Structure 1
Amino acid sequence: MIKAIEEQRSLPTKTTARRKRFSLTPWLWIGLAVLFVIIFLLYPMFFTIWLSFLDATSTHFVGLHNYLLIFTNSSLLEVLRNNLLWLVLATVATVVLGLLIAVLVDRVRFESVAKAAIFVPMALSFVAAGVIWRFVYEYEPPGQTQIGLLNALVTALGGQPQAWITDSRFNNFALIAVYVWMWTGFCMVILSAAIKGIPSEILEAARCDGAGEITIFFRIIVPMISPTIAVVTTTMIINILKIFDIVYVMTGGDYGTNVVAVEYYQQLFNFNNFGVASALAVLLLLAIIPIMYFNIRRFRVQEAQR
C-alpha cells in the first residue's frame, strides 16, 4: 500500500520531466540550423555593414564616405548606370519574351520540342554561356576572315564587322542578350504552366462572345496569371541585381561594361579596398530587401484570400 502511494506521488514528477524533455526537443532539432544561420548569414551581414563604414584597410572609421564615393565617383556611377540598364532591359526582355513564347507554343503540335529547345540554354552555366558567346561576338578587322558567327553573318549580308564586345555602343546590349538567351526559357516554362492552369471554359466563353485573341490575352490571360508574372519578374530582378559571371567572363568589366558585383570583386580582391567593396555589397542588400518584402506581402495576401 505504501509503495503504491509513493508511485502515485512520483507520477507528476515524471510527467513534468517528460514535458520538459518534449519542450526542448524542437530546439535540439532546429538549434544547428539556427547556429548555421547566425554564423554564415547574420554575422557576415552585420560585419560587412560595419566594414562599409571603415576605410580601405578597415582601421579607421570614415562614416558614410564610402557610400558618398559610390554616388560621386564617375566610374562607380557608370557601374550603377550599367546595373540599372541590365535591370530594366533584361527583366523586360526575359519576362515579355517568355510570356509571348509560352502563349504561342501552347498552340502548336510540337510544343514539347519547342519548349525543350528554348529551355536548353538553362542547362549551361553562366561561364560556359560567356565563353560560347565570346566566339559568337568574335571580331576581326575588315578584310580578314570573320571567325565570329555574328560578324560572319553581317559581312555575308554586305555589312561591316563590329567589335560587339569592345565597342561601348553595343557591348552592354550584347551582354544582356546573352542573359536573355539563357533565362527566357525559364520564364517561358513557369508562365506556360500558369497559362495551362486557366480554365478552358473561360477562354471558350470569351471567344463565343466575339473577343479576339489579343483581347483575350490582355483581358483574361494576363490578369489571371498576374501572380505568376510577379514571381517571375522578382526572380529576374534578384538575379540581375547580382549579375557577375557573364560580365566577368566576357569583358572583365572593361570597355564600360562593369556592374556592381564585378566592381565589388575588383575592389575587394584586386584593390584590397574593403570599405568600398563592403559598401557595394550593402547597396545590393538594400536593393533586394524591398523586393523580398513585396514578395512576402503578396504571398500573405494570397493566403488570406484562400
Structure 2
Amino acid sequence: MAAQILSAIITIIVGVGGAIAYFWGANKLLDLVFPSRGVAGMAAVDNLRRQGVIRPWLFIGPALIIMIVYLIYPVVQTVYLSFHDRAGENFVGGANYAWAFGDREFRNSIFNNLLWLAVVPAACTFLGLVIAVLTDKIWWGTIAKSLIFLPLAISFVGASVIWKFIYEYRGDGQVQIGLLNAIVQYLGGNPQVWISLPFWNNFFLMVILIWIQTGFAMVILSAALRGIPEETIEAAVIDGASPFQIFWKIMIPQIWSTIAVVWTTITILVLKVFDIVLTMTNGQWNSQVLANLMFDWMFRGGGDFGRGATIAIIIMLAVLPIMIWNIRQANREGGL
C-alpha cells in the first residue's frame, strides 16, 4: 500500500511538474524565436502576430496529439480490423457484419441493451427529478442529496461487489447472508439465485446502475430547478394551481432541455455498460450485453480481432447520433 501511494504521489508530481515545465519552456522558446521586446518598428508587430497565431497551438498541441494517438487512430484501426479475419491479416469484407446480425448471442445482446435503454435512463431521470423536487422542500435536503449522490463516487465494479452481497444466495437450509434473500426468507418466501433468473436478472443488474446514476440526474436537475424564476411559481400559486399542476405544467416545461440532456447522457452510458455485467454474471444466463460480448470475442477464446472490432464499431455507431444531439443541445443552450 505504501509503495502504491508513493508511486501515485510521484506520478502526480512528475505529471504536473512536466506540464508546467512544458508550457513555461514553450512560451520561453516562442519569445526567443519571435521576440517582441528590443525589436523596433513593424518587426515587433509581425513577431507579436506570429506569437498570437502559434501560442494557442502550443497549448492545444499536446491534447491534439494525445487525441489522435489514443482516440482517432484506435477508431481507424478498429474499422480496419472489422473487415479482416480473426488475426487481423486477411480481408473478409462484410463477413463479420453478416455474422453479427446472424448470431443468436449477438441478437440477444442487442435485445438486452434495448431493455437497458428502455428502463435505466427513464428510471434515473424520473427518480432524480422527484428527489430533486422533494429534497428542495425539506431542511435536511442537502444531507439527503449527499447520501443519494454518494454511490456515484463508487466504481461500477465496487458497486457490483456491494450488490453481489445483496443478491447473495446460500443453499437450502443455510442462513441467507444476502440482504434480499434474508428479507424474502423472513417474509416466508423461498430464497432465489436472483442473478441467474433469465430475463429478470437484467432488471436486477439495472438496479445497480440506477442506484449509481440517480445521484447524477438529481444534481443536474436540482440545479435546473433552482434556475426557474420564482415569479412563474408565485403567479401559478396566485392563479390557484395545485402543487402537481405547478410541477407538471410550470416546472417541467422550463427544464425540459436539461431533462433531455440528462436522459441522453445516461443513454450513452447504458450503451457502453460493461463492468456491471462482467462482475455480476459475465454475460451468463442470458444477461449478455454488447460491450461484454465485444470483450469476450476480442480477448477471450484465443481472440477474434475481426468480430470484436465489428461489435465495437456497432456500439460506436449506436452512441454517435445521441452524442452529436447532446453536443448540439448543449451548444444551443450556451448560445453557440
Q: Does 1:164 align with 2:199?
A: no
Question: Which residue, out of 216, 227, 230, partners 1:200?
Answer: 230
AA of the residue aligned to 2:194 = W
Query: What do the CA deviations read for 1:22-71 (whole angstroms, capped 9, x no partner)?
Result: 43333333332222222111111111111111111112111121112111
Query: What do the CA deviations read for 1:198-246 (whole angstroms, capped 9, x no partner)?
Result: 1222112101111111111111111111121112111101111111111
Unaligned runs of 5+ in 1: 1-9
Q: 1:125 to 1:15 in 2, by over 3 A?
A: closer
Q: TM-score, normalised by structure 1?
A: 0.91
Structure with bigger RCO (C-alpha 8 Å, 6+ apart):
1
* SS across alignment from 2:196: coil
Q: Does 1:280 align with 2:311?
A: yes
Q: Displacement, 1:93? A: 0.7
Provide the alpha-carbon RMSD of the alignment: 1.8
Q: 1:110 to 1:22 in 2, by over 3 A?
A: closer
Q: Displacement, 1:18? A: 5.1
Q: In structure 1, how many angstroms separate the alpha carbons of the residues matched to 2:152 and 2:334?
A: 31
Give the aligned partner of residue 240 of structure 2: 210
Q: Does 1:102 align with 2:117?
A: no
Aligned pair count? 296
Q: 1:20 to 1:208 in 2, by over 3 A?
A: closer
Give the aligned partner of residue 4 of structure 1: none
Q: Does 1:290 align with 2:321?
A: yes
Q: Displacement, 1:21? A: 4.6
Q: Does 1:125 align with 2:155?
A: yes
Give the aligned partner of residue 333 of structure 2: 302
AA of the residue aligned to 1:153 = I
Q: In structure 1, how many angstroms separate the alpha carbons of the residues matched to 2:113 and 2:44?
A: 63
Q: Displacement, 1:14? A: 5.8
Q: In structure 1, how many angstroms separate the alpha carbons of the residues matched to 2:314 and 2:130?
A: 33
Query: What do the CA deviations read for 1:106-143 (whole angstroms, capped 9, x no partner)?
Result: 21221112112212211211111111111110112333
Q: In structure 2, how many angstroms separate the alpha carbons of the residues matched to 1:104 and 1:21?
A: 54
Q: In structure 2, how many angstroms separate the alpha carbons of the residues matched to 1:102 and 1:14?
A: 57
Q: In structure 2, how many angstroms separate the alpha carbons of the residues matched to 1:44 and 1:128?
A: 28
Q: 1:14 to 1:151 in 2, by over 3 A?
A: closer
Q: In structure 2, how many angstroms separate the alpha carbons of the residues matched to 1:303 and 1:182?
A: 28
Q: Residues 17-28 of structure 1 correspond to what in structure 2 (within 5 A)?
A: 19-28=49-58
Give the aligned partner of residue 234 of structure 1: 264
AA of the residue aligned to 1:292 = M
Q: Does the 8 A contact of 2:160 with 2:279 survive in 1?
A: yes
AA of the residue aligned to 1:262 = N
AA of the residue aligned to 2:258 = T
Q: 1:301 to 1:190 in 2, by over 3 A?
A: closer
Q: Displacement, 1:17? A: 5.0
Q: In structure 2, how many angstroms separate the alpha carbons of the residues matched to 1:17 and 1:103?
A: 57
AA of the residue aligned to 2:113 = N
Give the aligned partner of residue 182 of structure 1: 212
Q: Residues 34-113 of structure 1 correspond to what in structure 2 (within 5 A)?
A: 34-113=64-143
Q: Displacement, 1:13? A: 5.2
Q: 1:299 to 1:127 in 2, by over 3 A?
A: closer
AA of the residue aligned to 1:273 = D
AA of the residue aligned to 1:62 = V
AA of the residue aligned to 1:213 = P
Unaligned runs of 5+ in 2: 1-39
Give the aligned partner of residue 260 of structure 1: 290
Q: In structure 2, how many angstroms separate the alpha carbons of the residues matched to 1:125 and 1:299?
A: 27
Q: Does the 8 A contact of 2:265 with 2:326 survive in 1?
A: no
Q: In structure 2, how many angstroms separate the alpha carbons of the residues matched to 1:51 and 1:149?
A: 45
Q: TM-score, normalised by structure 2?
A: 0.83
Counting aligned pairs with the same residue, the percent is 45
